[in-house]
Amino acid sequence: MPDFRAYAPAVSADATEIQLSPEEGHHLVTVNRCGRGDPVTAFDGRGQEWLTECIDPSQSAVVLRVKESRPAKPRSHEITLAQALPKGATMDDIVRQATEIGAARIVPLLSERTQVHLDGDRAEKKVGKWRTAAIEAAKQCGNPWLPEIAPIQTFAELLKGWSPISTSATGVVVGNDAHHYDLRLIASLHAGTTTLKQALARYTAKHGHPPRQALWLVGPEGDFSPAEMTAAITAGCVPVTLGPLVLRSDTAAVYALSILSHELQSG
């Protein structure tokens, strides 16, 4: 029997029935062929799942009866991908694969060498499309957590929101960034890089534990400019090599997320 999954973002944890949105109901019944009595796993994208049974497969108002509420295990770490926008529909694929790997947040970036320029309604529509791609990927792979898709911003805007990383007398990292990162990494083709293992080892030796909130900055085709790299390093980013080969931006994003996720899970 197919493993039906449905996105239900506005449901209380103790709900006994779930009514899906018209769009989600259409996808479940018409596209995936879910019928009356079929088991469906509903999820809210914030770690809560419900094991349910479809009791009304009406395309306009699908209703699921909750049989069991199942909160997901809290995440031990969160990774943010700040990705310079590539050409074409490549960002759609990056969002899907980042969701499958388990990224917590995706920040689309406009950098000096970015050849895609979006603003106003076009930018909002793109972000909406990427959020839909993330939902589809989460349903396909069984991820109960949806990544936050941030609004498109410039490289300078991303760095501007950070405050210097400092430690209080109690050992707590302090700063005014709404999205705090224990470790900031930037994939680099420039000289003076380190390996991810070395960067993680230095952080763990200094703090006594692996980073819980990590950031990966991945550039466009041709990498970040020397000026952007200097600005990122000044803002506390560690330049990391992804190996001797020059990777496409989408390959670099998936590779960077995969190896960091593996290392943090192992740690």
What is the CATH number for 163? Answer: 3.40.1280.10
142-146 long-range contacts (CB < 8 A, ≥24 apart) are 142/3, 142/5, 142/41, 143/99, 143/100, 143/102, 144/43, 144/45, 144/47, 144/48, 144/49, 144/72, 145/45, 145/46, 145/47, 145/72, 145/75, 145/102, 145/104, 146/45, 146/46, 146/99
- 110-136 average pLDDT score: 89
Give the domain extent around 45. Answer: 4-71
Domain CATH code at residue 66:
2.40.240.20
- 112-140 average pLDDT score: 90
Identify the pLDDT of residue 174.
37
Q: Residue 91: is its pLDDT beyond 90?
A: yes
Identify the pLDDT of residue 167.
44
Q: Residue 106: is its pLDDT beyond 50?
A: yes
- Is residue 58 domain-shared with residue 165, that is, in the same domain? no
Of 71, 93, 110, the last residue of a domain is 71
- Is residue 118 domain-shared with residue 181, that is, in the same domain? yes
- Is residue 64 domain-shared with residue 132, that is, in the same domain? no
Of 55, 71, 87, the last residue of a domain is 71
Confidence bin at 267 (pLDDT 50/70/90): low
Identify the pLDDT of residue 178.
56
- 8-36 average pLDDT score: 92
CA torsion 155-161-163-165 (nearest 10°) is -60
- Is residue 29 domain-shared with residue 89, that is, in the same domain? no
pTM beyond 0.95: the answer is no
Identify the pLDDT of residue 122.
85
Identify the pLDDT of residue 2.
60
- 144-168 average pLDDT score: 80
To the nearest whole number, what is the mean pLDDT of the chain? 90
| Residue range 185-213, pLDDT digits in tens | 999 998 899 999 999 999 999 999 999 99
- Is residue 85 domain-shared with residue 65, that is, in the same domain? no
Identify the pLDDT of residue 67.
96
Identify the pLDDT of residue 221.
87
- 2-31 average pLDDT score: 91
Q: Contact, 218 vs 106, CB < 8 A?
A: no
- Is residue 189 domain-shared with residue 213, that is, in the same domain? yes
Of 71, 93, 124, the last residue of a domain is 71
- Is residue 145 domain-shared with residue 247, that is, in the same domain? yes
- Is residue 117 domain-shared with residue 172, that is, in the same domain? yes
- Is residue 124 domain-shared with residue 208, that is, in the same domain? yes
- Is residue 153 domain-shared with residue 228, that is, in the same domain? yes
How many domains does the chain fold into? 2
- 237-261 average pLDDT score: 96
| Residue range 19-32, pLDDT digits in tens | 999 999 999 999 99
Stronger pLDDT, 95 or 161, i.e. the higher one = 95
Exposure string over 142-171, b if 16+ CB within 10 A, otherwise e: ebbbbbbbbebbebeebbeebeebeeeeee
- Is residue 18 domain-shared with residue 119, that is, in the same domain? no
- Is residue 141 domain-shared with residue 162, that is, in the same domain? yes
Q: Residue 168: is its pLDDT beyond 80?
A: no
